[in-house]
Amino acid sequence: MNILRALLLVLLLPASLAQARIAPLPLPEDKGQPVGQILVHTAQEGDTLAAIAREYGISPILIMAANPEQDLLLLQPGERVIIPNQLLLPRAQTQGIVINLAELRLYYYPETGNEVYVFPIGIGRVGRATPEMITRISEMRKHPTWTPTANTRREYAAKGIPLPAVVPAGPDNPLGDYAMRLAYGSGEYLIHGTNDPLDVGLRSSAGCIRMYPEHVEWLFAQVNNGTQVQIVNQALKVSTDQYGQTFVEAHEPLTPEGLADTRPLDMTPLMPLLEQGVDASTVEQVIQQQQGLPQLVGQLY
């Protein structure tokens, strides 16, 4: 899957007027089982990848990865599109907010402990990568102003767009209507909305995490100062359920230096499974396909 091609295709698509779905995924009693279900969308006249991605709340890149044989730029009425709404949970504490950079997803675990909300996000672009961290929300702001750095003002000026020292709240503010500052570093990283929904699902920010406006508004109402935030970068996710069924989910790895990492995936999570007899060729095929869907690769017992 060529991520650069995916980005170019998405940028050519018009923004969706539909609102993204907000619905929890129940957590199974057996935490080794995949969460959610694979959905199928039947294209209607006028459907676009951007519209479908926003309607289902799934990154356009993940939809393209799940449909490698289709040209989603030229959707035809009646065409069936796999919506990858099934997943394995990242290796992290199941509390607060968990962000997995490699799959461009944010997970929110309510205190009830029996469900999870999953949202697509935009993350830091090349050279401005979002770092891995364990931190917390330190400030919450509705209708925030934006104070661009000197470097950011120079970048905009080079494009012929002069920026004021402080951008007021409103439709021209790239933070959108809601922002949650993280305590990491000097507080330069935020989870926030956007005035350009096409940025969601891409590496396009200066390091912050961008969400659809309706998603960030909902999340803002659920969390508080002090809510834990874990940011990981796991292109390979593995789980085994109580019956010994082993699942692998592989995404195209991302690095700070470029759009994709051509180095082999970290196989550490798979080593105990391979040692116990999971078929290595099946695992290798799933990793090479990088479809971002949980695949059953074997039975341990």
Rounded Cα gap, residues 237 and 251, in angstroms: 9
- What pLDDT score was predicted for residue 276? 66
Is residue 120 within 8 Å of 194, Cβ to Cβ?
A: no
Average pLDDT, the chain: 86
Of 65, 87, 109, the last residue of a domain is 87
Q: Is 291 a domain residue?
A: yes
C-alpha distances in angstroms, 62 versus 202, 226, 244, 249? 10, 31, 27, 12
Rounded Cα gap, residues 176 and 211, in angstroms: 9
Q: pLDDT tens digits for 33-50?
A: 999 999 999 999 999 999
Q: Is 216 a domain residue?
A: no
Q: Is 288 a domain residue?
A: yes
Q: Is 16 a domain residue?
A: yes
pLDDT, mean of residues 153-164: 86
Q: pLDDT tens digits for 231-282?
A: 999 999 999 899 888 899 999 887 655 444 444 555 666 666 666 667 778 8
Give the residue numbers marked as catalytic: 192, 208
- What pLDDT score was predicted for residue 15? 40
Strands 228-232 and 96-100: parallel
Give the total number of structural domains in the chain.
2
Q: Is 208 a domain residue?
A: no
Q: pLDDT tens digits for 201-242?
A: 888 787 899 999 999 999 999 999 999 999 999 999 999 899
Provide the residue range defining the domain that includes 260: 243-299
Q: Is 62 a domain residue?
A: yes
Per-residue confidence at 88, pLDDT binned at 50, 70, 90?
A: very high
Closest to 242 (Cα-Cα) out of 288, 299, 291:
299
Of 87, 108, 124, the last residue of a domain is 87
Q: In the predicted model, is pLDDT for residue 21 greater than 80?
A: no
Q: Is 114 a domain residue?
A: no
Of 87, 118, 151, the last residue of a domain is 87
Element (H, E) at 108: strand 105-109
Angle at CA of residue 174, ends 172 and 177, nearest 5° = 85
Q: Is 184 a domain residue?
A: no
Rounded Cα gap, residues 120 and 22, in angstroms: 11
- Bigger pLDDT: 106 vs 282: 106
- Bigger pLDDT: 12 vs 153: 153
The CATH number for 74's domain is 3.10.350.10
Per-residue confidence at 8, pLDDT binned at 50, 70, 90?
A: very low
pLDDT, mean of residues 289-301: 87
- What pLDDT score was predicted for residue 151? 82
Rounded Cα gap, residues 208 and 32, in angstroms: 31
- What pLDDT score was predicted for residue 13? 44
